[in-house]
Structure 1
Amino acid sequence: MNECLAFYQGDFVKENNVNISVRSKAFNYGLACFEGIRAYWHEDSNQLYAFKLKEHYTRFLQSCKVLNIKLPYSVEELCDITIELLKKNNFKSTTYIRPIAFKGSEHIGPTLKDNDDRIVIYCQPLGSYTGKDRLRVAVTSWTRLNDNMLPPRVKATASYLNSALASLEVTSRGYDEAIFLTATGHVCEGPGENIFMVRKGKLITPPPSDNILEGITRELVMQIAREDLGIEVVERSISRTELYAADELFFSGTAMEVTPIIEADDRIVGNGEPGEICKRIKEAFSNLTVGKIEKYKDSCTSVY
């Protein structure tokens, strides 16, 4: 039995006491949205740092707006609730936080007009998402959803069926993760993470117009590259075969963090080892998430 506390509809309750009806529209039709947030434990300072809370909850409420889910909380209030939840659980390890907003109505029909809007926030310890420090990937035959179908910039639960199908396909064939193409054949992203390519000294990543999630870690990676490492960053469409010609490839995301790709569609990337640019960005990312870099300290919210 899970004795962790969750936040549900205004109260901190034992996670096992959160009851959601089997008739809920969230369960029946996927009428919900979510966020993924990390809090990083720093042993030396005996401190847990919630990372990019404001940015995550700003995006969370934007997702709610698209889905006509109206929550009685501001970004600041959601940040305060999350800090209190982490304190109450007394987490002393790197932790994953999952807020979900959903339509709780039990009426039949996939309508977003119902006003029974609910929120639950739970959390759990989480180290490495994949358990690997380098990945083998393959392009999936499943196409990434278009913005006019299920908008990728909205973290809607329903759209992750697309991700699950892609992951099932490639992991069943022995790969670690999938890469989506858009309907026009351009590289999009992974099932739950953005992708970066290094070619001729430039850091290249697909633009929002190629149906990507506008990742918070993605934005941070671009900032580190531009401002701290002096690397030119280009947002443009990427052709599939460019993956095979890349000097480096890597994923970024809240769960994925910064993880190098060493093989794509059975082609070795670069020399088959994590590239220097990826390693430098990964090192900077690891330091700034626990408040070691003064410039980025505003991204870290101390829990204790």
Structure 2
Amino acid sequence: MFPLRPVLPDHFLILVSVLFPLVFGACRPAPDIDLQGHRGARGLLPENTVDGFLHALDLGVRTLEMDVVISGDAQVVVSHDPIMSPVICSHPDGRPITAADTVWIYRLDYREVASYDCGGRGHPDFPDQQPRKLHKPLLSEVLREAEAHARRSGRELPRYNVETKSRPGGDRLAHPPPDEFSALVVRALREAGVEERATIQSFDPRTLNAAHALDWQGETALLVARDEPRFEVIVDNMGFTPDILSPHHEMVTERFLTRAREAGMKTIPWTVNDVAEMQRLLSLGVDGIITDYPNRFPH
């Protein structure tokens, strides 16, 4: 038998430096993965609220994902629905909004919008969400508070992914026409000085085209529903190629990613709340993940 030779310190360090990334690197997502907090951190705090966005930053998200609508006085309001939701909102006097109520945000001045509580009831689909009485903020308020919070915390300034909640059938009923809608959003992002850290996304390619026509210097993202697998047709009709393709997470396969890359687009799927599904998508090589639960992201 040959005598065992001790591992010298230098040899040990070399061995560790080689094996550590091989053993542990596969367990960590790439550092350039764009973790996005869906409507802030909807699984934990009321959606599309300042509190939710700041909590998402504390959980380590790179990008705050949010939705915007337009009020009757042309203010950009952070809200997923064009109406006061009967699921999460209450009248100014405390009565819950019901399905029989139809309160269009596009018919209210922002002062009126802010008088509704859209957090105190919680959300039946998110039992871990902590109810808080909170209003629908202006986009400018979210940007101001998020920038200040990041600076106070010594964090990198966040990115913003802003979805225009528009559809052709909603013009002049739920929102202004796409040119006006996009102009208001672009102006708000430019005035806040975050254009180059912002993405405008939508299921409605009209608002993306409108932003592109305004010489938008941030990114654009085309959202793709499960019943729209041929995204190439939509992109061909747009006249320009968005920077990002955001499909429902179940659509993402190796072939889907290849098609997106060949078209010149990154892939950031929505809305991924299951850890095993996050790991599947990361192993395929997605560029980011949008989730209601940033705390579940596999670091």
- TM-score, normalization by structure 1: 0.25
Q: Higher strand fraction: Structure 1 or Structure 2?
A: 1
Q: Higher helix fraction: Structure 1 or Structure 2?
A: 2
Q: Who wins on radius of gyration, i.e. which is larger?
A: 2
